[in-house]
Structure 1
Amino acid sequence: MSIFQFKEFSVQQKNSPAKITTDATVFAASLQIYSNVRSVLEVGTGTGVLSLMLAQRYPDIKIDAVEINPLAYEEAQYNFKNSKWKDRLEVIFTDFNWFNANHKYDLIFSNPPFFQNNMQSQTNHGKNIAYHTNQLSFTSLAKGIDLNLAENGEAHIMLPFYEMSLFEKEMKAIGFQCKRSIELRHQAESKIIRLFNLYDRGEVESKIEKKVVIVRDENNDFHPSYIRLMKDFLTIF
């Protein structure tokens, strides 16, 4: 499907290596932003779908979205310009390894590449960059967040369980702590598909808030926790 239609916007995804996925859209729908947040940065925007979802949810934020793949950059730019929030969305064609904004962001979020030692495509270099840590390691991602995030800002990251444990070590090494962790599961008894973790530079001993989002119930119908998050976006609800 080259065009994905949401309730309030559409996303062209013909050329971007990273297509729209259930886990990523749930991540954007579950991300909570405080009322004092104004400037937001997405690392690796792909089609731009997550930034579009946040722009729909939060009318007071301005989002910059970094993208290294030229095809994804052009597609995100097209999707932003054809949305009703085009004045609050900007895609930046750059490598996050070298990104140093002229201001600090109140919030940074990312669905980053995470495959480290898996088989890679011999022909699709763009897909390798989108899904593997070749171009952006967890160490570089953590350092880039530290460099570009305001002192009391928040970082929201989506990763599989094991990869999140590796990333968390990198964040702790530079003074960040996990404050909230949301588990995404296909069904209640299924293994964790993804973790959505919130990091800030807060106190080490603070208690981690934990939540669970489930996609399907025991009858394979959509779970209430999934419907609650996605009803403002998906045309099936």
Structure 2
Amino acid sequence: MSGFQCKQFYVGHDRCGMKVGTDSLLLGSWVDLAGVQRVLDVGTGSGILALMMAQRLADARASGFQVDGVEIEPDAAEQAMANFAASPWHHSLMVHKADIHQWQPPQLYDLVISNPPYFSAGQQLDCDKRQQARLQQSLSIGALLELAAGMVHSKAKIALVLPMEKADEVALGAASMGWFIAQQLAIQGRADKPAKRVLLLLQQGTGETEYRSLTIYDQNNQYSQSFKHLTKAFYLAF
């Protein structure tokens, strides 16, 4: 499949190691955008998360918003540029083809969002680009948190989607840098299965975590009402 059609935009992803998937669609639908005008998408890939942020901010009538994506892989960066240029919000979207470790942000952000790498070095995937897109040796969770913390102001947020088993690691790493998990949404494929993914929203300081869960499929193997409600701004079928 060469791309993914959302209600207000199309995402080509045939040149990207990671295709548009449920993880990003859930994260982009869920993250709290209250008070957000400047967003950074780290490892933007096809640009799906950045485009979702632009649509939501435009729908909320957030004037003057800016969404930037950083991507190291040249083909993915160029595809994100094309996707941004074809979108209704092209004036408010920008791709920076760069290594996030050396990149200097043009501004401080209200939100850093990412579907980051989470496979360990040594695991082999079926595509070199997919391998690069998902290797922790390129960008560890700890490095991502440290880099993001230097690109935001004191009231900003960081939003991530990760395997469930990474939640405790992120909580510990975040706490050592003065952050805490404000919201955590566990994602179950079905009600009788354990959660395999988790959405995290981090804020600076200390506080209690709000724990919730969401099931993607109901007992009839159809999308659950909760999933439809969360993602209805993007999925054509809802």
Name the TM-score, length of structure 1 as normaliser.
0.93
Q: Which residue of 1 aligns with 2:208?
A: 207
Paired-residue identity, %: 29
Q: Which residue of 2 aligns with 1:217?
A: 218
Contact 1:44 1:66 in 2 (8 A): yes
User: 1:80-99 to 2 correspondence within 5 Å?
Assistant: 80-99=84-103
Q: Which residue of 2 aligns with 1:163?
A: 166
Aligned counterparts of 1:165 and 1:229: Cα–Cα separation in 2: 25
Q: What is the CA RMSD across the aligned residues, in angstroms?
A: 1.4
Structure 1 residues 118 and 190, CA, compared in 2 at 3 Å: closer, same or farther?
A: farther
Q: Which residue of 1 aligns with 2:152?
A: 149
Question: What do residues 111-150 of structure 1 show as CA deviations (whole Å, max 9, x unaligned)?
Answer: 10011145224x8432222011121112211110111011
Q: Which residue of 1 aligns with 2:234?
A: 233
Unaligned segments of structure 2, at least 5 residues? none
Aligned counterparts of 2:167 and 2:133: Cα–Cα separation in 1: 17
Q: 1:167 deviation in Å?
A: 2.5
Aligned counterparts of 2:4 and 2:70: Cα–Cα separation in 1: 21
Give the 4+ runs in structure 1 shifted more than 4 A.
none
User: 1:85-164 to 2 correspondence within 5 Å?
Assistant: 85-121=89-125, 124-164=127-167
Q: How many residues align?
A: 233
Q: Which residue of 1 aligns with 2:46?
A: 47
Aligned counterparts of 2:95 and 2:215: Cα–Cα separation in 1: 31
Paired letter, 2:226: S
Return the match for 2:68 from 59, 64, 78. Answer: 64
Paired letter, 1:167: V
Q: 1:40 deviation in Å?
A: 0.7
Name the TM-score, length of structure 2 as normaliser.
0.93
Q: 1:231 deviation in Å?
A: 1.6
Q: 1:189 deviation in Å?
A: 2.3
1:14 matched to 2:14? The reply is yes
1:189 matched to 2:192? The reply is yes
